Structure formats: C-alpha cells, structure tokens
Amino acid sequence: MTTTGTVLDEIIVGVREDLSARRTTVPDAEIARLAQAAPPALDAAARLRGDGTTMGLIAEVKRSSPSKGALAEIPEPAELASIYAESGASAISVLTEQRRFRGTLADLDAVRARVDIPVLRKDFVVEPYQVLEARAHGADMVLLIVAALDDAQLRDLYDLVGGLGMQALVETHTAPELERALALGADIIGVNARNLKDLTVDLDRAADLLGRVPAGPLAIGESAVLSVADVEAYAAAGADGVLVGEALVTSGDPATAVGSYRRVARRGRPLPEGAQA
C-alpha cells in the first residue's frame, strides 16, 4: 500500500505498532496453532442471506469512531451482543482496533463466548497474522478493506480467510475498489458510504455502487444508518443487508432498533440495462 497521509494510513500505522506488540507476546507459530485448534467457523453468508425476504443485519459493538469520537462505554460487550442476537441480528461485528475505536480482542472473546451466531472481527487487517488471530479468537468473518491493500495482499489474505473456514467481508467505497472485489470473486461485498481516507459520507454514492454489484455475491451497506429510513434506502439500492453500529449503541433501546431494521423488506438488485429476467 502506498501511503498518502490519509486518515486510513494513519490508522494503519497504529495498527501495525499494536500488532508488533501482540506478536511479541504470541509468536507466529503459536497463533497459527491456536487458529487451527479453534472450533469450526459458522456460515455467516447463510445467516445474512436468510430467507431472502428481509434485510440481513450485522449489529456492531462499537464504543468510538474517528469521525464521531466516543459513542458509548459498553462495559459488557457480551451483554450487548446477546441483546443483538436475541433481537434477531444475523451476525455480530466486534471492533478490535484499540486506538481510534477503543476495541480489544478481549471484546471478541467475550462476545464469542456468549452468542451462537456468526461474529465478524472488524479491524484494519494488513497482515496474515491478524487473520490467524481472528480465527484463534473465534471469529467467523474478517473484514478486508480494499483501500488498505494492494491486489496481491488482498488475494493472499482472502485466500487465507477461506482456507481457515471463515468468510471475508470485502469492503469497497469506490467503483475501482468494487471492480477489484468482483475480480477477487468475493462472496460478501461491503459498500461503505464513508470514505475512510477523509471520513466523508455519501449515501448516494454508496447506493450507486450497490446497484453495480451483480447477482450472486451478498451486498452489505455500511455506514450512514441512523434510522429505519436509511436501511430502507439501502434496500432500495439493492443491498441484501446492512452493518450498523452507531445507531444501535446510541439508541437507548438496541433490541427495538435491531427488530425494526430486520423487518425492512429486501428488494433485490435491479437487472443491468439490457439484461433479461
């Protein structure tokens, strides 16, 4: 990856520093052994697909963000995740990045021990060690951000995720990034309304990108969800589901919010111009 001084680049510098410290404590050979010894991963794509009638939901345990700062304390992430699961969430996202999002691998451990639905390790994954670490801590999914990786890194990490029995949420936010995700053969494609390079949000751009995702892969809308109307906007654009954090942790009633988002009807993606139904 070529660094350009963006917010994403700055985050990754910290991620690499923190990773180096963890690697000293748990060497590569040990994390690989732990990953191989972990119970089989759950099928996140199947849960997100559901019966195809309503929107899938990845409900996120999120304390903070670079754009909004502190959102919620969440002293018991497993308790919040349990509420999400009992209210109908398809999967749980757990942020493990420490500096900007105040997440930890201990949060991932706690959530994994409490819920029996798929769990996503959401972090800035740039090294194979982090994929092995995710599996060792019980993750079923790993976030791969196209903007943070070159083609070779993206392919190697994607293949490693699959080789460990997990699934990747391959995140995009521009048309060229979407093309790279499609060339990869990604089964679950995230379209983020937030540009991680400058933190601006553009739901219209995300909607346009979602319309370009062909039939086959699952398309997940990310960011900019503050209400049911936003989930409906993603559904209208062709998303199969949404990933939501801020709106849930600040709602005061996450159970009701999860239920209302899950009830939004899925519409499917429009056929490309000239295609036959």
Domain with residue 85: its CATH number is 3.20.20.70
* Torsion sign over Cα 22, 23, 27, 28: positive
Paired tokens of 155: 């392919």
- Would you say residue 274 lies in a domain? no
Whether residue 62 is contained in a domain is answered as yes
User: Which tokens belong to 41?
Assistant: 């991963």
**Is 77 inside any structural domain?**
yes
- 20 burial type by CB count under 10 A (0-12 exposed, 13-18 middle, 19+ buried): exposed
Mean local confidence (pLDDT), 160-164: 98
Tokens of 264: 């939004």
Q: How far apart are CA 62 and CA 77, in angstroms?
A: 9
Residue 271 lies in a domain: no
For residues 10-14, average pLDDT = 94
Segment 206-259, tens digit of pLDDT: 999 999 999 999 999 999 999 999 999 999 999 999 999 999 999 999 999 999
Residue 139 has pLDDT above 80, yes or no: yes
In a domain, residue 163? The reply is yes
Residue 267 is assigned to a structural domain of this protein: no
Res 70 pLDDT > 80: yes
Task: Please say if the pLDDT value at position 273 is more than 80.
Answer: no
For residue 105, the enclosing domain spans 7-262
Please report how many Cα atoms fall inside a 13 Å half-sphere around the Cα of residue 42, on the Cβ side.
Answer: 17
At 274 the pLDDT is 47
The mean predicted confidence, pLDDT, of the chain is: 94
Three-class SS state of 200: coil
Q: Look at residue 198 and tell me if it is in a domain.
A: yes
The pTM assigned to this predicted structure is 0.94
Distance CA 237, CA 208 (A): 7
Tokens matching residue 185: 């053969």
Q: Which residues contact 4 (CB under 8 A, 6 or more apart)?
A: 197
Q: How many structural domains does the chain have?
A: 1
Evaluate whether 214 touches 183 at the Cβ level (below 8 Å): no
pLDDT at position 68 is: 83
Report yes or no on 272 lying in a domain: no
Give the pLDDT of residue 216: 92
Q: Find residue 222's DSSP bridge partners.
A: 192, 243
How high is the pLDDT of residue 65?
84
Dump pLDDT digits (tens) for 57-67: 999 999 988 88
Mean pLDDT of 173-189: 97
What's residue 275's pLDDT? Answer: 43
Spatial distance between the Cα atoms of 72 and 63, rounded to a whole number of angstroms:
5
- Residue, of 87 and 195, whose pLDDT is higher: 87
